[in-house]
Amino acid sequence: DAGITQSPRHKVTETGTPVTLRCHQTENHRYMYWYRQDPGHGLRLIHYSYGVKDTDKGEVSDGYSVSRSKTEDFLLTLESATSSQTSVYFCAISDGDRTEAFFGQGTRLTVV
């Protein structure tokens, strides 16, 4: 299995608090992605990175920010968590923009 670790795996937080999710890879892959998955919506891209300090928005980026200060880490921050951000968050990595991606085990976030 690809070396991808997401932390935390589970989190419950209160509305209005900031939350940071971490994705760590040991594969030295250039691309990293954050997706959220909700019933009826499938996997939706939040943000992605194509290199250190190079990031771009996905289709559901509002309320989220990301940072990538080194190749192995990609952080997702919910600036002020809302109940609509309750979801399962997956990180993925790939070594090219048209190659297969490998996923972390996911983070289950509940905003109460």
Partner 1 sequence: RKEVEQDPGPFNVPEGATVAFNCTYSNSASQSFFWYRQDCRKEPKLLMSVYSSGNEDGRFTAQLNRASQYISLLIRDSKLSDSATYLCVVPQAGTALIFGKGTTLSVSS
Query: Is the torsion defined by CA of 76, 2, 103, 90 positive or negative?
Result: negative
Report how far residue 34's alpha carbon sits from residue 18's, in angstroms, rounded to the nearest whole number: 17
In whole angstroms, the minimum distance from the beta carbon of 108 to partner 1 comes to 8
- Nearest Cα to 76, choosing from 112, 34, 36? 34
Choose between 14 and 39: whose C-beta lies nearer to partner 1: 39
- Cβ atoms of residues 43 and 37 within 8 Å: yes
- Taking CB under 8 A as the criterion, the residue among 30, 71, 75, 102 binding partner 1 is 102
Count of residues engaged in binding partner 1, rule: CB under 8 A: 25
Residue of 100, 109, 110, 111 interacting with partner 1 (CB under 8 A)? 100
Q: For the window 42-81, what string marks contact with partner 1 as x by the rule CB under 8 A?
A: xx-x--x-------x-x-----------------------
Residues that bind partner 1 (CB under 8 A): 31, 33, 35, 40-43, 45, 48, 56, 58, 88, 90, 92, 94, 97-106
